[in-house]
Homo-oligomer: A and B are copies of this chain.
């Protein structure tokens, strides 16, 4: 069922960040609560766009281009605890004619042990939430960046 999760090496446009698990992100099972993974995916996306795409997501929204999430998949591979340092590796590619897809792998920063992997698919919308094609300047910027 998970054969469609890509390896991080398959995306050409990639970025890596580190992130420490907050106490607020734990739950009574002693690990992190599952939904935090989607928030960490977002941290990866934000920095990938800033560092590799040449335009932060904040600036993109300022141009009235929004990227709401339309699909997400997560596999929880191993535990991680408060104060653990994580490595978040994100890649991005154009997905069909009007979507972006981010593939993410989260591992322990020191040991490389897997924690979560998954992907998110995003539509393009205007500031009224209406679906749009990615603007020409965005596609050009994306390809120029190597995506």
Interface residues of A (CB under 8 A from B): 1-2, 4, 20, 22-24, 26-31, 33-39, 42-43, 46, 56-58, 61, 66, 68-76, 79, 81-83, 120, 129
Contacts and interface: CB of A to CB of B under 8 A. Distances in A.
Contact of A76 (B33, B39, B61, B70): B70
A39 B22 contact: yes
A128 to B, nearest CB: 10
A70 B34 CA distance: 9
A27 B34 contact: no
A48 to B, nearest CB: 13
Contacts of A31: 68, 129
| Most B C-beta atoms less than 10 A away, residue of A22, A28, A42 | A28
A26 B27 contact: yes
Given A71-B75, A73-B72, A73-B73, A35 B29 contact: no
A68 B33 CA distance: 9
30 contacts: A1-B4, A22-B39, A22-B46, A23-B28, A23-B42, A23-B46, A24-B27, A24-B33, A24-B42, A26-B27, A28-B28, A28-B30, A28-B81, A28-B82, A29-B66, A29-B129, A31-B68, A34-B38, A34-B72, A34-B120, A35-B39, A38-B38, A56-B83, A61-B82, A71-B74, A71-B75, A72-B72, A72-B76, A73-B73, A79-B129
